[in-house]
Amino acid sequence: MKTEKTLKALTILGAAALLGAFTSQAVAAELEIKLGHNGSPGSLFDASAVEFAKMVNPKLAGKAKVVVYGSEQLGKDEEMLKKLRLGTAHLALNSTIMAQMVDVIGLFELPYLVRDREHMKRIEKEVFWPMIAPIAEKKNFKILAVWENGFRHITNNKQPIVKPADLAGIKLRTPSSKWRVAMFKAYGANPSPLPYGEVFVALQTGTFDGQENPFPQIVGGRFQDVQKYLSLTGHVYSPAFVVADVQHWPKVPADVRKIIEDTAKEAQAFVFKTSAKMDEDYLVEVKKAGMQVNEADKDAFVEASKSVYADFAKVVPGADEMIAKSLAVAKAK
């Protein structure tokens, strides 16, 4: 009888242990890493986030799964960042909004700072990771990787923009960036911030005459359907950032965090290649849609941008050094 009772007890314990193991595995498999962004289907943000998920999920091997929530499913940029703080989302892919949250990231709001993607790689290595990322962490933002939003150009319904004077009085939508607003005021425009998701209707109804964005955002937002002129100003290069919250991110298992962080950095190569291809393809597309495309006098815009650099350096500690170092590495080979 004792032997029979012992066997039953062992059977029950074994079953419980097995159930516990299955439960533990199920819990691990259910760890959903939410990645939110505001890009619409076909946008660079969408392509980047989806490719990243494809790259990282096999490596996570059931321990966790990155799930992408695009098109503002987790809210607009500000709401997504709040969700990071609350721990109801893990990652956000965003761009200009970070300059509003961490003033030194406003460096990338300075016009004509970044020449091309190779230059951006050098700025990332020499300026961003050693000088900017630690400041962002003090503001509770853990930046996992630098991706891309792209080179920005101006569209409008009034006239071709060749020189800053051509912007005089034009009602121009910008993102929520005081430096972008300051820049376009310096050029003579009438700029105002508006969430990206509201821009199409604002342009369609004439609330705004124009806007400025990279090609993927222009085409992804169907702005070519409601705008006549595209001026290739390339006035700002906007990086994008994969962001987590400093307090909540460490609660994710360390091995999962490492895989995600390493893969996020690896994904940059795909992002840069895809963005460059989109620039070429979308330029053809907007021309076919009937937009009138013109080159801009970039020297005239650079000259008109000096006051923005001076104002930025006055209010952001360490800005002079960051600007100088960023411009210096443009000449590196």
Domain ranges of the chain: 31-331
Taking the C-alpha atoms of residue 56 and residue 91, their distance in angstroms, rounded to an integer, is 14
Look at residue 30 in the predicted model and tell me its pLDDT.
Answer: 66
Q: At what angle do helices 44-60 and 268-288 cross, to 10 degrees?
A: 150
pLDDT in tens, 177-199: 999 999 999 999 999 999 888 99
- The predicted model scores a pTM of 0.87
Cα 62 from Cα 72, distance rounded (Å): 27
The structure tokens 């005459």 sit at: 209
- Integer Cα distance of 253 and 31 in angstroms: 10
Residue 16 is predicted with a pLDDT of 46
E strand or H helix at 80: helix 77-86
Tell me the C-alpha distance between 96 and 11, whole Å: 60
Q: Give the pLDDT of residue 26.
A: 43
Burial 29-56 (b: 16+ CB within 10 A, else e): eeeebbbbbbbbeebbbbbbbeebbeeb
By DSSP bridging, strand 229-232 and strand 141-156 are: antiparallel
Residue with tokens 């792209």: 150
Could you tell me which residues are beta bridge partners of residue 142?
Answer: 244
Q: Could you tell me how many residues make up the chain? A: 333
**Contact between 208 and 157 (Cβ < 8 Å):** no
Residue 115's Cβ-side half-sphere holds a number of Cα atoms within 13 Å equal to 11
Task: Determine the pLDDT at residue 13.
Answer: 45
CATH topology of domain 31-331: D-Maltodextrin-Binding Protein; domain 2 (3.40.190)
**How remote is the C-alpha of 209 from its chain's centroid?**
25
Digit-by-digit pLDDT tens for the chain (333 residues) are 444 554 454 444 444 443 444 334 444 456 999 999 998 888 899 999 999 999 999 999 999 999 999 999 999 999 999 999 999 999 999 999 999 999 999 999 999 999 999 999 999 999 999 999 999 999 999 999 999 999 999 999 999 999 999 999 999 999 989 999 999 999 999 999 998 889 999 999 999 999 999 998 899 899 999 999 999 999 999 999 999 999 999 999 999 999 999 999 999 999 999 999 999 999 999 999 999 999 999 999 999 999 999 999 999 999 999 999 999 999 765
Rounded Cα distance between 301 and 221, Å, is 26
Structure tokens at 277: 């291809």
